[in-house]
Amino acid sequence: MLKRVLVGLLRSHEHTGDKAKDPKLKSHYYRLSKDRAFEEVGSVLKKMQGYRVLHEVQTIGEIVMEKRTMSGRTMDITVQIVGTSPGASAVDIYSASRGSLGDLGANYRVIQEIYGVLDRKLSNYRN
């Protein structure tokens, strides 16, 4: 946790992926087709308190959201759904804070919160 705050002094974004060194930032996989995953993930994200879905582009599997922090900063979040095989999809998240200062680990925590909600709601499909 302290390491995240220290990294966050300088950096104001965070993202997930297969090659992430931090296990908590690895892509999450679900046993759903890309289209079905897009619908399910979109439905879950729209119900999340404090987040606002700005637009969805199903053809490229992208959902763009924003979240306002207590301090009044805005975080831009992009959720990417990629079909990995006919019945499986990966979900990756990119979160960035607007402004020039670091985020003190806020983007990391946002990613953990979104993955936590998705994993709970889609637990039947989690790989």
The mean pLDDT value for 107-125 works out to 95
Task: Give the per-residue pLDDT at 109.
Answer: 92
Task: Give the per-residue pLDDT at 99.
Answer: 80
The mean pLDDT value for 115-120 works out to 97
Tokens 């924003």 correspond to what residue? Answer: 66
Q: Is the distance from CB of 83 to CB of 38 less than 8 angstroms? A: no
Residue 50 has which token pair?
A: 């404090």
The mean pLDDT value for 89-106 works out to 87
Q: What are the boundaries of each domain within the chain?
A: 2-125
DSSP string, the chain: -HHHHHHHHH--EEE--TT-SSGGGS-EEESS-HHHHHHHHHHHHHTSTTEEEEEEEGGGTEEEEEEE-TTS-EEEEEEEEEEEETTEEEEEEEEEESSSS--TTHHHHHHHHHHHHHHHHTGGGB-
The mean pLDDT value for 119-125 works out to 95
How confident is the model over 55-88, as pLDDT tens digits?
A: 999 999 999 999 998 778 899 999 999 999 999 9
Tell which residue, 82, 81, 83, has the closest CA to residue 43: 81
Region for residue 61 given its phi and psi (left: phi exceeds 0; alpha: psi -120 to 50; beta: otherwise)? left
Tell which residue, 22, 17, 18, has the closest CA to residue 4: 22
Task: Give the per-residue pLDDT at 53.
Answer: 98
How confident is the model over 9-64, as pLDDT tens digits?
A: 556 888 999 999 999 999 999 999 999 999 999 999 999 999 999 999 999 999 99
> For residue 4, what pLDDT band results from cuts at 50, 70 and 90?
very low
Greatest alpha-carbon pair distance for the chain in Å reads 43
The mean pLDDT value for 91-114 works out to 88
What superfamily would CATH give domain 2-125? Fungal kinase associated-1 domain (3.30.310.220)
